[in-house]
Structure 1
Amino acid sequence: MPPLALALILLSAVLHASWNLLIARARDTEAATALAVPIGALLVLPFTLPTWRVEAGVWPYLAATWVLETAYLALLAAAYRRADMSLVYPLARGLAPVIVLLVAALALGIPTTPLEALGVLGVGAGVLLVRGFGHGAAGSGDRAGTLLALTVAATIAGYTLVDRQGLQFASPTAYVVLALAVPGLVYLAAITRIKGRAAIRAELRPSTAFIGVAMFAGFGAALAALTIAPPASVAAGRESSVVIATVMAAVVLKERVGPRRLAGAVLVVIGVALLAVG
């Protein structure tokens, strides 16, 4: 993997973990998420205009990613209502690169080196180890939440593969705004209808603006990496956000990080290293 691609992937992972941490600390996580996306779009739009490029061929891919991103937001919210974040987040993010690797290699014929394949599997195994299995590994142990997390992983894999193709017809800066703005507005309308405008207005704060900007910047960095690196490697490298989030939880939220999570973190680092040299 090119060093620039690795740097972009790690930047994306840091931003993703950061805005998830802020979402987790928000008074109303759904309202904060719904408001952050359109605010982020407005704030980053001026910076995307100098490199804005959109060709006619991009629209079928954008239509597909709109469906997948909207499903991602809805399924993720449903999963968090039924299970702990410590179950949903690592499971969804950890299995996504494995799905991408299988689809990219078997269905799309996109080549993946043996080291990159090992890296993908290492990252996936590492994030699952961070999450833990067995009795008491998850707070709720809800099977419905686990099933929803698997569907979230499928949507992540789906939009990763779709975006890889769609970037042939648009610049990463234009694509990220178009890809997130429409699902974000749909989600905002839905949450406003369900919770009311007062709940949305209550989340008008600087941290919500940062969440929005971090969403777009992180996604944009990942899309830029997709233009120069295999999709499975990009998807797997982004999963290092699980380890970053674990460190943030220990430092910021004062959560206890035991030997199992530390071992998982080491395995993820090894997986990312394999991606870098592969």
Structure 2
Amino acid sequence: MSPLVICCVACAALLHASWNAVLRGGSDRLWSMTLMMLAVIGTTATVAAFVPWPAAASWPYVIASAVIHTGYNLSLVRTYRSGDLGETYPISRGSSPVLVALGAAIFAGERVSFIAAIGNALVSGGILSLAFRGRGIRTDFLPAAFTTGLLIGAYTVVDGIGVRLSGNSLAYTNSMFLLWSITMPVIYFAIRGRPPTYTRVQTAMALAGGLVSVLAYGIVIWAMQYDTMGAVSALRETS
């Protein structure tokens, strides 16, 4: 992995942790997620006027990723309801690098060296262990957290394959985010109808979190063009 890719993915990891903290701190997390996606709609719709569409071969992956990401959003909200950020976040994020490496090997034919596999496992194990550091062992939040981790692994592999077929990582990322972001407001208003009362600060934080999420994962998608999905995922999850 080149120094540039390492630095960019490390920055993406910090950005990812920051928007997750914003979501976890919201009084209505489903509405916070919806606000984030509204910010994404505005941004990606604007960018779409200036970038080409991705290659046709990548569109099945754009659509599949948008669907999986929608499930991930709902699962993430449920996960943060079930436990503290310090418990749920390490489980969700720590379980995904091994799943990504396995999925990339099966579906993309990526070969991982023995040393890389050990490193990947150590990263996952280290992150998972943080969930139980200094705490009694709880299990009630594990199903939701592991489900979120599985969805993270799924969309990462889908996007890793899709971006390599797209011919343009920005076009792929923008199209996927645009399609994905439209689903959350539809789901929210279908389920809840009227939104809650949020302060200007809460609204601004959620909108900013949406923009940060695009940048954070956009960097990851870009990086997966140049290195194995498992390696990029492991570095990303150091957040």
TM over 0.5: yes
Change in 2 beyond 3 A, CA 1:215/1:200: farther
**Structure-1 residue corresponding to 2:203:** 205
* Distance in structure 1 (CA, Å) of the matches to 2:106 and 2:179: 31
**Structure-2 residue corresponding to 1:136:** 136
Displacement of 1:208 in angstroms is 2.0
Change in 2 beyond 3 A, CA 1:164/1:131: same
Displacement of 1:156 in angstroms is 0.9
Alignment of 1:107-146 (within 5 A): 107-132=107-132, 136-138=136-138, 141-142=139-140, 145-146=141-142
* Distance in structure 2 (CA, Å) of the matches to 1:200 and 1:53: 37
**Structure-1 residue corresponding to 2:78:** 78
Of 156, 174, 181, the match for 2:178: 181
Of 127, 138, 144, the match for 1:148: 144
2:91 is equivalent to residue 91 of structure 1: yes
Displacement of 1:15 in angstroms is 0.7
Q: Structure 1: state its 5+ residue gaps.
A: 242-278
* Distance in structure 1 (CA, Å) of the matches to 2:107 and 2:179: 28
Displacement of 1:185 in angstroms is 2.0
Contact 2:37 2:181 in 1 (8 A): yes
CA distances 1:65-118 after superposition (whole Å, capped 9, x unpaired): 122111111222222333333332211110111011122235542122333222
Contact 1:66 1:179 in 2 (8 A): yes
Contact 1:192 1:200 in 2 (8 A): no
Q: Which region of structure 1 is more displaced relative to structure 2, 206-215 or 109-118?
A: 109-118
- Residue type matched to 2:179 in 1? V
**CA-based RMSD:** 2.3
Contact 1:86 1:131 in 2 (8 A): yes
Change in 2 beyond 3 A, CA 1:108/1:200: farther
Contact 1:32 1:200 in 2 (8 A): no
2:102 is equivalent to residue 102 of structure 1: yes
Of 201, 213, 216, the match for 2:214: 216
Change in 2 beyond 3 A, CA 1:89/1:135: closer
Q: Which region of structure 1 is more displaced relative to structure 2, 197-206 or 223-232?
A: 197-206
Q: Which region of structure 1 is more displaced relative to structure 2, 114-123 or 55-64?
A: 114-123
What is the TM-score normalised by the length of structure 1? 0.77
* Distance in structure 1 (CA, Å) of the matches to 2:235 and 2:196: 35
Change in 2 beyond 3 A, CA 1:233/1:163: same
Contact 1:93 1:239 in 2 (8 A): yes
CA distances 1:224-248 after superposition (whole Å, capped 9, x unpaired): 110111000111111111xxxxxxx
* Distance in structure 2 (CA, Å) of the matches to 1:135 and 1:221: 34
Q: Structure 2: state its 5+ residue gaps.
A: none
- Residue type matched to 1:160 in 2? T
**Structure-2 residue corresponding to 1:159:** 155
Displacement of 1:63 in angstroms is 1.9
CA distances 1:134-158 after superposition (whole Å, capped 9, x unpaired): 97144xx31xx31222221111111
* Distance in structure 1 (CA, Å) of the matches to 2:188 and 2:170: 27
Change in 2 beyond 3 A, CA 1:48/1:70: same
> Percent identity, aligned pairs only?
27
**Structure-2 residue corresponding to 1:260:** none
Q: Which region of structure 1 is more displaced relative to structure 2, 181-190 or 153-162?
A: 181-190
Change in 2 beyond 3 A, CA 1:65/1:44: closer
Displacement of 1:200 in angstroms is 7.3
The number of residue pairs the alignment matches comes to 237
Q: Which region of structure 1 is more displaced relative to structure 2, 123-132 or 101-110?
A: 101-110
